[in-house]
Amino acid sequence: MASEADILDARPVEPQEIEWLSKGMRNVGFFSKLGRAQLAEVLPYMLMIRYARESAICAEGEPGDAMYLIYKGGVVITKEGWKDPVARLKEGDFFGEMALLFGEPRSATVTTEDETEVFCLAAEDFQRLVDKSPDMTDTLRKLAESRRQSLARS
C-alpha cells in the first residue's frame, strides 16, 4: 500500500457487505465465475478499508501486495507520462489485479476521488482463489490483458 494512502478505517467485512458481495457482485467480472463455496471461503480474509479522498492506494512501480474491489466511492487510474487519466473506476469495479496476476510492479497509480471504501484481498489469499477457481482466473486474466493492452497504446 502506498504511504500517501490515508486510511480512515480497516476492519473485517460485515454481514450486510457479505450480502452485497454474494448477491450483486456475482454478476460482475471478478466474482461471476466463483461458486458460493469459494466466495464463502475467501470472505473471511477480506478487509474493508476506508480511504480519505485523494489517497494513493497503489503507486505505479511499487510491488503489488493486494487487489481491491470498490464498495463505495471511486478511483482514478493515472500513469506517468499520460496527459489524461487512463480510466475511472466506481462501485463494483476492481483494481490491483494486474501486478498479482502478471508478477509485475503496479502498472499505474490508483487514487481515490472521494472518500472510498474497498474490499481488500491480500496477495496470498488472492493466490488461494486463483488455485481453486480456474474459471474465475481466466475471466480476470482476460480483463487484465485488455487493460494491459490499453496501457501499451500510448
- The residues that touch ligand CMP, with contacts defined as CB under 6 A, are 58, 64, 77, 86-87, 95-99, 106-108, 110, 147, 150-151
- Parallel, antiparallel or unpaired: strands 87-90 and 109-112: unpaired
For ligand CMP, the closer CB: 35 or 102? 102
Rounded least distance, CB 67 to ligand CMP, Å: 7
Tell the residue number behind the cell numbers 494491459, with chain if given.
148
| Dihedrals phi, psi of 2, to nearest 5 degrees | -70, 145
| C-beta closer to ligand CMP: residue 1 or 110 | 110
Q: Report, in Å, the least distance between residue 30 CB and ligand CMP.
A: 11
User: Which among 1, 8, 30, 12 is positioned nearest to 116, based on CA atoms?
Assistant: 8
Sort 99 into a burial class: Cβ within 10 Å, 0-12 / 13-18 / 19+.
Answer: buried
Compare residues 39 and 118 and give the one whose CB is closer to ligand CMP. 118
- Least distance (Å) between residue 133 CB and ligand CMP: 19
Kindly give the pairing relationship between strand 47-51 and strand 56-58. unpaired
Least distance in angstroms from the C-beta of 139 to ligand CMP: 14
